[in-house]
Structures are given as C-alpha cells and as structure tokens.
Amino acid sequence: MNKNNKVLALKYRPQIFDDLIGQEVLAETILNSIKSNKVPNAYLFTGIRGVGKTTTARIVAKSLNCLNGIEKLCKDNFCKNCEAISNSSHIDVLEMDAASKTGVDDVRDLIEFSRYGPTSSKYKIFIIDEVHMLSKQAFNALLKTLEEPPEYLKFIFATTEIKKIPITVVSRCQRFDLSRIKSSELLDFIKQIKDKENGKATDKALQLIVKISEGSVRDALSLLDRALISLDGKKELDLEAAQKIFGYFDKSQLINIFNFILKGDEDKVIESYRKIYDQGIEPKIFLNDFLEILYYFKNINSLTLESTNFSLNEDEFDQIKQMANRIDSKVLILFWQFTIQALNELDIVSNQHLSIEMFLLRLIHLESLKPKNENRSDNDLINVKKNDIHEQTSSQIANKGTINQIKNVSQEKKIKPEPNLGSKASYKVDIKSFNELVEFCYHKKEMQLKYELEKNVNLVKFEKGRMEISFNDNLDKDFVKNLSSKLAEWTDQRWIISFSKNLGEVSIKDKEKNNRKELTEKTKKSYLYENVLKYFPDAELIDVKPLIEDDDL
C-alpha cells in the first residue's frame, strides 16, 4: 500500500525512539538498559489509548534485533530486521492480539513455539497487545515461562487496563506507564503533520482537536485527518468549521447561558440554547460541556489558561474569573448535582432537546437568589423551605443575584433541632429511647452507627444505661465497642449493651419496608388505582409515598 494513501495515524507512526513524543524518560531508560545488557524478561506498557504502547513495543523489538547493533540503530534506511518488524512480518517477532486469542490453548501454543530459538536475529520476541483480555488460566500458563524464559526469549505486553492483569504477572515484568501527551506538545506535533500534508488550519481549530483527543496522539491524528478531508483543499479549517465537523460549540455561548441563568432571564436562556441546538450539538455533549464550565467557575482561581487544555481562550478565561467572584460555591455544587441528574435522565425521555430546556429553566428557579454573603430574613428562610420552585419574576431574580441552596420537596424532611449540649464542661445528653438514639447518631454524623442500628439491630429492651438487642450476621464486629464509647461520651455515664436470644422487634429498615408494602397493597385496593387500571391495563404499581403536608415542612 502506498504510504501516501494511508491514514495519518499509520502514515506518521513513530519508527524509532526519537519519533516518540511525550515519552522521553521511557525511551532513555529502555535504551540504557539495552546498552548495559540488562534487558528484562518481559516489558509491560500501560496507558490510555493512542499514547504509543504497541508502537513502543515494536521500537523495542527493533532495538533488540537491529543488525547494526544498539550503538548504531537504524534511523532512516532500515536494515532487513527493522523493515520486517515495522511491517509485522518478521519470523522471530510474533504479534498476538489477546482480544481475539484469550484462551489457555493459545498461550500453550505460544509457549511451545518459544522452545525453538530465533532463526535470523538475536532475540525471539512475543508482543501481546491488550494482554488484560487473556483468561485467568492463560495467565497462569504464562507464569513459569515469564519468570525463567530462555535467554533468547523476550515478552512485551501492552494494555489499557493494568488493574485487570494479575499481580503475579505484573511482578514478573518491568512496568512502564506511558503518560498522556501534554497539550502543548500535541499541538506542536499536529501542526508539523498539518504542514507536511499541506493542510490549512488555524491554531484555534487545532487546539479544539487537541482538546477532543484528551492526550491521545492517535485520536488527534484521526481527527486532523477527518478535518482536512472534510474541506476543499483551498479552504482553511477555522474554529467554526471544526466545531461543526466534530459537534462542538463555542464556550462563550455556554458562559452567556450561565450568566442568563443567574439573572433569571428565561427567554434569553432558551433562545441561547436553541441556537446551540440548531448547530447540531447533541444534548449529552451540551451537558458535559456545561459540567466543564461549572468546574472552571468553581476552580478558576487555582487554574491557569494553559491548564484548561485549550477549552477556553483568554477572553473566556477572564470572563469566568470575574463572574466566579460573585457566585457562591454552594450554588455551583448544586448546579453540578442537577446537571449529573439531567445526564442520567436523558436516556429516559424520548425528546432530549425538551429535557434540556426544562433542565435550564429548573436551574433558574432552584435559587431564591441573593447577593453573596447577604443574610436572609426569617421570612425568606421559611419560603425557601416551603417551595421547591420559588415563584419570582425574572426582574426580581436579576436584582437579587445568586446564592443559597433550596431543597427539593422530596428531599426536605422535618428536622428536629439538635439538643442544646451546652459547654464542653457540662456536656450531657439524656437518651430515653431507641429512636432518640438513632436520631442523635444522625445529628452527630455517626452514620455508620445509625446504619447498624437501623439495618442490623433488633431491639429487645431499652432503659437508661442499658440496652438489650439481637442482631443479624451483617452487624459490624466493632459495633458494640463503638456504640458504648459514644454513649459514654454523649451521656456521661457507662452503658451496658447485652445480646439476647430473643428475636426482639423488627429492625427500623424492615419496619419501613413492611409499612411501604402494606401501603402499596392498600393502594392497590383503592378506587383510584382501579380506575387507573381501566385506562392503563398494563400499569403496575411500583411504589407509594405518602403526601407531605405543608405543616410538616
């Protein structure tokens, strides 16, 4: 195949260590080990897609078997061995794809083949790509040969998922972690490729390619290849064209939407989003980019323009920095949670476009917006508790700015005030019942104890200073010790916790489960449910929740 007809990722695949980008330490280490004749039995290369794992494996194979020796490695005119290894046709260098040959029989054939020495080179080398795909039995079959192979045999493994490889295999290899390629290095590299291909592209378009590739050279070259062939040879690839090709949009549009949300301008928010949607942007990409903008707003003071991986230009960076100082972190965290929830809901709704619009409107009404650090009045606090969507006009919201979190009605529960504990010197609490104990664990943020009490403990008897319980097999072994210690600390007296042979009461969680089941069964017999079945005979009642009265909020 003519080299000029190859895709860029193959055409410009590194052939020697000097061609690798971003892996200088790895290249120097391997070359030094070969020069000093301290070659390990097996190499293990791990890293994300497209950073050069398999490519490095072939370069190592060339370095070991080059006819010119390690001191005069082929660079331009390849020797017979180096040429054959580059074309994957060398008889002593076997490349195996573990994704398609995962079984123990494949590995046994490999080991059987390894009994014979190399025919035309110094080493017989087995390159196994995606080695984590091998079965457990296949790995076990490799162990002995890996630890004590013949002098002429070397293994080179490549994987994207190092955690799936047994530690017994990893410990027998010399491991190298190939890092993501830095954005600046990758940008310089694709600029050189663009010039070699006589392509025309602006720096901002190339920066978008670098951002999308996420540190993968292969991805960057594939995107560049796609971009260059998408346009007429006489046209220059600019940022706008690149965004259309790859389905991305200008971050300044997101910043404007965010600004309109904070001002409460519903019309502007929807109008801005529809412009983005009309560009062909997928709703999931929009939400992921919205998350990215939220991250920048939250952490902009600890970031530099370079660390944003070309996601922002200088104007956008400065704009976010100015706006971030006027926004409370609680608002950003709340927005983040609702965006994650919206992402999960996308697969449920049939029209994702409408779902995004409602998501943006909900963000506007999530807040009873007030300027940062301004204290609320008592009436404001009452209103926040009572309303999931605080009914204010756009102009009112714009005047008040952003800031405190409002809870969803489904999340809002009647919270009992924590007992007044007084000063540390008079620290003493009177716990009179099992339910009070569970509630107090919640207020003291002892969630592990609260979980054990609710889930794994059955109360037999409770009185002051003494508690008798039964338990199930899931109870934490340190439960009694931890609870006794906390009770002594909270009540200033020693508690006796004893185990009983009696079953005791049903656990709190089981009670809730039984109550929910009874409520569901009761609802199924109701007139309302029978009417629903008339119109929707395939309907099934999954769960029932009691209505929350306003007075309980």
Q: Is residue 408 part of a domain?
A: no
User: pLDDT by residue (tens digit) across 226-285?
Assistant: 888 887 767 888 888 888 888 776 778 888 898 889 888 889 999 989 988 887 788 888
Backbone angles phi, psi at 459, to 5 degrees: -75, 130
Kindly state the tokens that stand for 339: 């965006």
Is 359 part of any domain?
Answer: yes
- Cα 256 to chain center, whole Å? 26
- What value does the CA radius of gyration of the chain take, rounded to a whole number of Å? 33
Residue 445: its pLDDT value, please? 83
Residue 506 per-residue DSSP state = P
Task: Extract the tokens encoding 23.
Answer: 């892996």
Q: Give the domain extent around 93.
A: 3-177
What pLDDT is attached to residue 212? 84
Q: What confidence score (pLDDT) does residue 307 get?
A: 66
At residue 333, does pLDDT exceed 80? yes
- 8 and 149: one domain? yes
Indicate the residue among 177, 193, 212 that finishes a domain.
177
Q: Is residue 14 part of a domain?
A: yes
d(C-alpha 306, C-alpha 522), whole Å:
62
Element (H, E) at 94: strand 93-97
pLDDT of 381: 39
| Cα Dmax for the chain | 90
Would you say residue 409 lies in a domain?
Answer: no
DSSP for 470-486 reads: EE-TTS-TTHHHHHHHH
Among the listed ranges 25-39, 187-201, 384-398, 512-526, which one has the minimum average pLDDT value? 384-398
Whether the CB-CB separation of 312 and 296 falls below 8 Å is answered with yes
46 and 169: one domain? yes
Tell me the CATH number at 201.
Answer: 1.10.8.60
Read off the pLDDT of each residue in 421-433 and give the average, rounded to a whole number.
Answer: 61
**Are residues 348 and 332 part of one domain?**
yes
Whether residue 204 sits in one domain with residue 155: no
- The domain spanning residue 281 has which CATH number? 1.20.272.10
Nearest-angstrom CA–CA distance, 313 and 306: 9
> Helix count (H) and strand count (E) of the chain?
24, 8
Same domain, 168 and 226: no
Instruction: Tell whether 430 and 306 lie within a shared domain.
Output: no
Residue with tokens 């791990």, as numbered in its chain: 46
Q: Which of 172, 143, 161 is nearest to 42 (CA)?
A: 172
How many domains is the chain built from? 5
Judge if 162 and 189 occupy the same domain: no
**Above 80 in pLDDT, residue 416?**
no
Same domain as 152, residue 35: yes
176: three-class secondary structure by DSSP: strand
Structure tokens at 209: 């390619």
Q: Comparing 314 with 342, which gets the higher pLDDT?
A: 342
> Could you tell me if 269 and 366 lie in one domain?
yes
**22 — phi, psi (to 5°)?**
80, 5
DSSP 8-state symbol, 343: H
Whether residue 415 lies inside any domain: the answer is no
Supply the CATH number for residue 165's domain: 3.40.50.300
Answer yes or no: is 226 within a domain: yes
- Examine the fold and report which residue of 228, 246, 264 is the final residue of a domain before the chain moves on: 246
User: Tokens standing for 465?
Assistant: 């200073």
Q: For residue 172, what are its two tokens? A: 């027998």
Q: Which tens digits make up the pLDDT trace of 452-504?
A: 888 888 888 888 888 888 888 788 878 888 888 888 888 888 888 888 877 77
141 and 21 belong to one structural domain: yes
DSSP-derived secondary structure letter, 328:
-
On the CB side of 218, CA atoms within 13 Å amount to: 10
d(CA 224, CA 245): 11
End position of a domain, from candidates 124, 155, 177: 177
Q: Are residues 364 and 438 in the same domain?
A: no
Q: Using CA atoms, how far apart are residues 204 and 313, in angstroms rounded to an integer?
A: 9
How far is CA 77 from its chain centroid?
Answer: 45
| Average pLDDT across the chain, whole number | 80
Q: Is 270 exposed, middle or buried (0-12, 13-18, 19+ CB in 10 A)?
A: middle
Q: Are strands 457-463 and 466-471 parallel, antiparallel or unpaired?
A: antiparallel
DSSP-H helix ranges across 325-478: 329-345, 352-365, 378-386, 394-400, 434-443, 447-455
**306, 385: one domain:** yes
Each residue's pLDDT tens digit, 120-149: 889 999 999 999 999 888 898 888 888 888
Q: Whole-angstrom Cα distance, residue 14 to residue 12?
A: 6
CATH of the domain at 489: 3.30.300
CA 352 to chain centre: 22
Question: Does 106 reside within a domain?
Answer: yes
Confidence band for 382, pLDDT divided at 50, 70 and 90:
very low
In a domain, 414, yes or no: no
